[in-house]
Each structure stands twice: as C-alpha cells, then as structure tokens.
Structure 1
Amino acid sequence: MLMSNRDRPARLHYMPYSFRVLQAGDHVLCAISGQRIPLEDLRYWSIARQEPYASAALSVEAELKARAAG
C-alpha cells in the first residue's frame, strides 16, 4: 500500500540555499511560532540550529534569542 505524504511533517537537513529531505512529508513546523510551513513555501531556516522559520521576522527573532542565550 502506498503511503501519502500529505498532512505529514517532513524531516529536513538544512544547507546553504537548499535543504535535503530526510523523511518525506508535505510541511515543517516553524521553530518559533509552531506555524505549519508547506515545503514549497519554505524560505527561511538556520543551518547552525537546523530549524525552519515561517518568515524573515521570525528568523531574526530566533537569531536574537540564540545570541542572547549563548
């Protein structure tokens, strides 16, 4: 039986300018907001923290939190 990747979170490896799918799915969850991000809309992530973000503003927020913590 074929399994559908719809409504399943993907597991990704984030690299400069792209990502590699480690486990098939159709979305990821923003590390800050928890918002569902369809893979075709994913534009922002941290290579160092291996986290996706729903927007540039949330990416900046995550970076500021990481700098403050560390």
Structure 2
Amino acid sequence: MLMSSGEQAATLLYGPNGFRVIKPGRFVTCAVTGEPIALEELRYWSVDRQEPYASPEISTRRLLGQA
C-alpha cells in the first residue's frame, strides 16, 4: 500500500505480543527495505531491535545477518 507524502510515520514500541503507538501515524518504515508498512498490515517486528519488517522473509534475513 502506498502512503501519500502528507501522511506521517508512526512511532511504535514493539512488544512480544503486539505494539503500542507512541506517536500516531498511519504507517511505519521497514528497517531493511525502507518501504512503508500500513499499521493494519504490520505483522513482523523485532522486540530486541525495536524494528518493523515488511515480510517474514525480510525478518529472517535480518535475524541471520544477511540484511
């Protein structure tokens, strides 16, 4: 999903079972690819690194140090 330039990125606190919105917004940016991820579509993140990921493949690459 493309985000319009007028929309602001959210700031989240990532936990093991979900995330908490610290600063409201409609999306976060994937820590590896830089692509926007709508909050409704966010499913993958690292609690330890506090980073969101666009897909399980990207998350695994990051975990294995390949990204």
Structures share a fold, TM > 0.5? yes
Q: Could you state the TM-score of these two structures normalised by the residue count of structure 2?
A: 0.87
Unaligned runs of at least 5 residues, structure 1: 1-5
Identify the structure with the greater helix proportion: 1
Deviation at 1:29, TM superposition (A): 0.3
Unaligned runs of at least 5 residues, structure 2: 1-5
Q: Could you state the TM-score of these two structures normalised by the residue count of structure 1?
A: 0.83
| Amino acid of the structure 2 residue aligned with 1:31 | A
Counterparts of 1:1-70 in structure 2, within 5 Å, are: 7-65=7-65
Structure 1 residue ranges (4+ consecutive) displaced by more than 6 angstroms after TM superposition: none
Percent of aligned pairs with the same amino acid? 48
Deviation at 1:7, TM superposition (A): 1.1
